[in-house]
Chains A and B, each alone.
Chain A
């Protein structure tokens, strides 16, 4: 097999169901999110990731609290984020939240960092959105050190200094969570991921393939430039968005009102135009398989594929049915088909176990911060 990971991500939106006019309550949405995560494990998916927001109509303002709860109710699924705000969160707090989660989940933890594009969140947390890029660089530099160095003396521009600071608890087994850097369309994050030899997750959804192709190619090229391996050995993840029914026309008919009223792209292009121009696939499981297998033609062989299935006000029952189809009909075929023709040099998705093994295998390498 490929060692590819398949999973889902949620942005935790509280959206009215356009067919009923009713929005779930926040309590219902949070409970539904847990049910969705548990179902994802049940149907054999590898990853559940949550976004982070700090205003209505969203509920995931405390991602590691949610993921901790889900960790207690699951056994195998990897818990991740999409994304964790590296700009407006205190890096010390991020470091702590995720090492605790590592311990609680037995290493079933990684993290996707992002800048965040909700303007007011910056001043709510004492930051300036115009500094988003330098903030990302500075905060992430500190986060890396906190996870790797036992005693940290640190000084910077955007946070008060640290003197003799030790992160507690230490990362599980001395292995920090694997870091993905998530980006929608700008090159700075691809460069940051390549610089550190971290993973790069292209949001991919809601955008034409050409944008994603350009970013991923940049990341791969720069990954090699920084000496972390060949371009083919870079660690790439992709978002995707699907809605399925056995019969393709049923899927289109059922999803259309959700599409037409969706917060991000509703009232704009038609469902047909949008599915042609972006990765959104509305149809049968076979169509989803075919479309997803096509992504590697422009990003290369990659490591993680996450699907958005709970967006735009879909009722919980429908989302669980999407997961049934993903688990039973789509992902098993994808696992098999992605392995066909996959070069041996392309690495599997990093896990706690694989990073621990790598650390154990070459202790000299483990002390230089390339993971």
Chain B
């Protein structure tokens, strides 16, 4: 059983970002299914979380609804993350979510990156914005991402389909190689480091 969490930063209804996310999920689920791996998918929409995300940024802690979403991400074995392109980058909302996601949540997590935009001129947001951010978060970013421009959803559909298939195949190999995701417990790590420090501190009587 592989737990897949799909994060969509789409704002509109209907959303091409969400549409791309759904197609990626379907392709990954099919590929894993072909290897007899069952998939449980959880979709996370960022729009309904916009205010809780900003509150978390301002207060430093997440309200229960957002905390539950963090748990859905942390408990996954693999993540698909899709953003609309805003100003040659991921959207502020997308970035803010990852800014408040607890440290090390995505450590060693296989991540498939994807983005949507008006034209294909900004397809490198994947390489210049998303990949560096997820690398910084210690995720294992799958080599092939998918960028879909508005045109791609029209007559060029087969080309987008091929790109989705390639990305899903690469991602599936990565996810299978990684196996179930081991969650890090930063609280326990900090505590353990402190215990060692106190044990080794010179002149401490106990």
Interface residues of A (CB under 8 A from B): 133-134, 137-138, 141, 145, 154, 186-188, 191-192, 195-196, 206-208, 211, 214, 218, 226-227, 264-269, 273-274, 277, 368-370
Contact = CB atoms under 8 A, between A and B. Distances in A.
Interface of B: 54-55, 57-61, 63-64, 187, 190-191, 193-195, 197-198, 201-206
A257 to B, nearest CB: 17
A269 B191 contact: no
A-B pairs, top 9 by smallest CB distance, nearest first, are A268-B58, A188-B194, A187-B191, A269-B55, A191-B194, A268-B55, A195-B198, A268-B59, A265-B59
A187 B187 contact: yes
B65 to A, nearest CB: 11
B61 A138 contact: no
Contact of B59 (A187, A195, A206, A370): A206
Nearest to A215: B187
Given A141-B203, A277-B61, 17 more contacts: A133-B194, A134-B197, A137-B197, A141-B201, A154-B203, A188-B190, A188-B191, A188-B194, A195-B198, A206-B59, A207-B61, A214-B187, A267-B58, A268-B57, A269-B63, A273-B63, A277-B63
B135 to A, nearest CB: 22
Contact of A138 (B58, B201, B205): B201
Contacts of B203: 141, 145, 154
A273 B57 CA distance: 15
Contacts of A133: 193-194, 197
Contacts of A137: 197-198, 201
A157 B198 CA distance: 15
A267 B57 CA distance: 11
A206 B63 CA distance: 12
A211 B198 contact: no
B44 to A, nearest CB: 21
A207 B206 CA distance: 33
Contact of A211 (B61, B195, B202): B61
Q: Which of B60, B194, B204, B206 has the most CB of A within 10 A?
A: B194
A134 B193 CA distance: 10
21 contacts: A134-B197, A137-B197, A141-B203, A145-B203, A187-B187, A187-B194, A188-B191, A188-B194, A191-B194, A195-B204, A195-B206, A196-B206, A218-B191, A226-B206, A268-B57, A268-B59, A269-B55, A269-B63, A273-B55, A274-B59, A369-B205
B206 A268 contact: no
Nearest to A268: B58
Contacts of B55: 268-269, 273
Contacts of B202: 141
A269 B59 contact: yes
A184 to B, nearest CB: 9
A323 B199 CA distance: 44
B103 to A, nearest CB: 11
Nearest to B194: A188
B194 to A, nearest CB: 4
Contacts of B197: 133-134, 137
